[in-house]
Amino acid sequence: MSTIRRRDFVKLAGAATALGAAGFPMLSLGAATARVVVVGGGFAGAIAAKYTKLYAPEAEVTLIEKDKEYISCPFSNEVLSGERDIKSLTFNYSALGKRGVKVVNDEVVELDPAKKTLKTRGGKTFQADFLVVAPGIAFQWGAIPGYDEAASEKMPHAWKAGPQTLLLKKQIAAMKDGDVAIIAAPANPFRCPPGPYERAAQIAHYLKHHGKAKSKVLILDAKDKFSKQGLFMAGWKHNYGDMIEWKSGAEGGKVEAVDPKTMTVTTEFEEYKAAVVNVIPPQKVGPIAEKAGLTDAKGWCPIESASFESKKAKGVYVIGDACVAGAMPKSAYAANTQAKVAAANIAAAILGTKLPKPAYTNTCYSLIAPDYGISVAGVYTIGAEGTIVEVQGAGGVSAADLSIEGRKREAVYGISWYKNITRDTFG
Amino acid sequence: MYNNKLIGALVAGALLGSASALARVNDGAVVSNTCNGCHGTNGASVGAAPVIGGLPEAYLASTMASYKDGTRFATVMGRVARGYDQGQFLDMARFFAAQPWVSSNVKGDAKLVEKGKQLHAASGCAGCHGANGIAAVPTFPRIAGQAADYLYFQMQDYRDPKKAIPPAAMPMRGMLSPLSDDDVRALAAFYASAK
């Protein structure tokens, strides 16, 4: 490599681009040695690693993820109802390894977006030519007075699946008939917008079928409306009668403080005591993105709509829940298609081919009961102002007048969605 | 000074890389890969959603178009299809038709499969869909190894006069209407397990 002089490279580039390629940004490195490092192995990062390798097998793709196993948030509400166990939500990275992705089990503690260098807790250093940052979310501890990490051991968030999910499940199982479970839902933006409302249904499902039909689930919300609202409310009623109550922000639903010692939740007008309090706290980007200076004034990562390249650093791509993706929600499917756009752009840059036209979608199912599913879909494009917007006339939620048989069909397709998206990600 | 052999290898590599990349990283592949979250990598679904990798190109394109214009009933696909134009449908159809067919690999209940086999023989399905669910001409989609739940739902829609189905599928309505719900389940189980 180093024996080739620059002017020879120009000749080489000319030969390569004769095929119609747009440029030769990586040719000076040699396509065979382009180094792509992905930080974070969730629904965004794992897909970015896999599809970069599919698009550009010549690239050296490294995935750095702190956990050996990934426990998915999608479908973790079903663990609460007992319809699913946590093992069915647990995935590893061996299939990505077989696809040629170098999987490093370590945590990135330093990231220099300008130099594209990384350091891990384990003391390893990495140099990337392209960097993909997919750190997901972290919690704003203390944003709700009284709710810090220690409080989450009594009032679980269960918004990252794993021990927290099992803790909440245990608490729900210990409820007496007539006890109340509170879900404190955050303001936008947050991970998985329909999640709190599906959770209410899954908790009610458990209570209804375990001799606790006099119990209630009370959602105290910071918002005045929520994802798939009409469908959720109709579905709650159909399946659980009056077991689920939703209090909007305007009705005083916003939680202003909690006290885990007394299991008290304080809102603007009232104080509630409950057997179970599930606090879904306000969220922020995974700390490494903030530390690396990839965030904007609002604390999330601004990106170029066509490529997911950071607006803060060239050659650095931010995908998934951490990025600001216009109208796209912070969902697994959104992350999946964002990662593929980033992967295609990186591959095109490595191989010197034309940058592809981006395509992104979201499809997200919520299970209100095992045989009652609802969905939201969105197809996205770049709008007049350069941000990602929904294609007009497409997308939206399930038909309001869909038959019961249709809802059952959506439940079946929801489970299918889970099988396929996790296989696409970790298979 | 440089090494001629190395440069030769590099040029070949760069050309090869670019050529294969042109085949891989293009607008068609990028738009098609958005489908994989529900339909599996390369359209090889492992769930109730249909396998689409390896289906005939014309069938895929017309199916997307009929979802878009509402002439085919759907729970979600209408909402998705309305986000794309005809050119994108053709891109998706070309992409997925070029993928290998991977059967959903579901073993149905043996009795149900056997009942389905007899119904398959008696109902004249083979006339279009082939002796074992693989049509001789690409006008008709492969149904051998297709997802059982999808086949069941689809046949239910064909039987249901309230559901929209494309004109090309109209003969299915007549053929399936004499069958019971259990019969349709059995047929779905048979085709899903067929190879």
How far is Cα A181 from Cα A170, in angstroms, rounded to an integer?
A: 12
- DSSP state string for A294-346: ---TTSSEEB-TTT-BBSSSTTEEE-GGGEE-TT--S-HHHHHHHHHHHHHHH
Selected residue of B1, B11, B15, B38 to mutate for chain A interface (largest A Cβ count, 10 A): B38
A21 in contact with B at a CB cutoff of 8 Å? Answer: yes
Contact B14 A333 (CB under 8 A): no
- Cβ contacts (< 8 Å) between A340 and chain B: which residues? 30, 33-34
List all residues of chain A from 111 to 130 with a beta carbon under 8 Å from chain B: none
**Complex ipTM, two decimals?**
0.90
* Contact call for A55 and B21, based on CB within 8 A: yes
What are the chain A neighbours of B3 within 8 Å (beta carbons)? 3
Identify the band that residue B11 occupies on the pLDDT scale cut at 50, 70 and 90: very low
For residues A62, A63, A65 and A70, what is the CA-based torsion angle, rounded to 10 degrees? -150
What pLDDT digit, counting tens, does each position of B139-180 carry?
Answer: 899 999 999 999 999 999 999 999 999 998 899 999 999 999
Chain A residues closer than 8 Å to B73 by CB: none
Q: What does the alpha-carbon distance between residue B118 and residue B170 come to, in Å, rounded to a whole number?
A: 23
pLDDT digits (tens, 9 = 90+) for B89-132: 999 999 999 999 999 877 789 999 999 999 999 988 898 999 88
DSSP code at position A187: P
The two three-digit tokens of residue A37, written as one number: 């490092």
E strand or H helix that includes residue A118: strand A117-120
| Cβ contacts of B41 on chain A, cutoff 8 Å | 423-424, 427
Does position B181 have pLDDT exceeding 90, yes or no? yes
pTM (2 decimals)?
0.91
Give the other-Cβ count within 10 Å of A326's Cβ. 18
Q: Do A19 and B22 touch (CB under 8 A)?
A: yes
- Taking the C-alpha atoms of residue A298 and residue A284, their distance in angstroms, rounded to an integer, is 9
Longest dimension (CA), chain B: 81
Nearest to B48 among A58, A391, A415 (CB): A415
Among B26, B31, B38, select the one facing A420 at the smallest CB separation.
B38
Q: What is the mean pLDDT of each run of 10 residues along chain A (427 residues)?
A: 38 38 45 87 98 96 98 98 97 98 98 98 98 98 98 98 98 98 97 98 98 98 97 98 98 97 96 98 98 97 98 98 98 98 97 94 98 98 97 97 97 98 98
Q: Which residues fall within 8 angstroms of residue A82, CB to CB, at 6 or more apart?
A: A169, A206
Q: Please give the Cα distance from B187 to B190 (Å, whole number).
A: 5
User: Does A29 contact B at CB distance below 8 Å?
Assistant: no
Looking at the DSSP assignment, which residues form a beta bridge with residue A110? A119
CB-CB neighbors (< 8 A) of B75 in chain A = 375, 398, 402, 406, 409-410, 413
Q: Please give the residue of chain B at the shortest CA–CA distance from A345.
A: B25
**Contact criterion met (CB < 8 Å) for A363 and B33:** no
* Cβ distance of A359 and B17 shorter than 8 Å: no
* B46 interaction partners in chain A (CB closer than 8 Å): 419-420, 423
Chain B nearest-CA residue for A4: B2
- Whether chain B has a CB inside 8 Å of the CB on A43: the answer is no
Q: Contacts of residue A356 in chain B, CB cutoff 8 Å?
A: 25-27, 29-30
At B139 the pLDDT is: 84
Q: How confident is the model at residue B23 (pLDDT cuts 50, 70, 90)?
A: low
Asked if B75 lies within 8 A of A413 by C-beta distance, the reply is: yes
Residues A217, A194: Cα–Cα separation, whole Å: 16
Cα separations (Å) of A142 from A149, A258, A274, A281, B191? 9, 10, 21, 9, 57
**Banded model confidence at residue B24, pLDDT cuts 50, 70, 90:** confident
Q: Contact A356/B27, CB-based, under 8 Å?
A: yes
The two counts, helices (H) then strands (E), for chain B are 11, 0
In which band, very low, low, confident or very high, does the pLDDT at B78 lie, cut at 50, 70 and 90? very high
Interchain pair A353, B21: CB under 8 A: yes
- 3-class DSSP assignment, residue A271: strand
CA distance A293 to chain B (A): 30
Res B14: pLDDT: 42
> What pLDDT, on a 0 to 100 scale, did the predictor assign at position A32?
54
User: Quick check: B15 pLDDT over 50?
Assistant: no
Question: Which residues from chain B sit within 8 angstroms of residue A393, using beta carbons?
Answer: 82-83
Going by the DSSP 8-state scheme, the letter that residue B76 receives in this structure is: S
Beta bridge partners of A303: A310
Question: Cβ contacts (< 8 Å) between B21 and chain A: which residues?
Answer: 55-56, 347-348, 351, 353
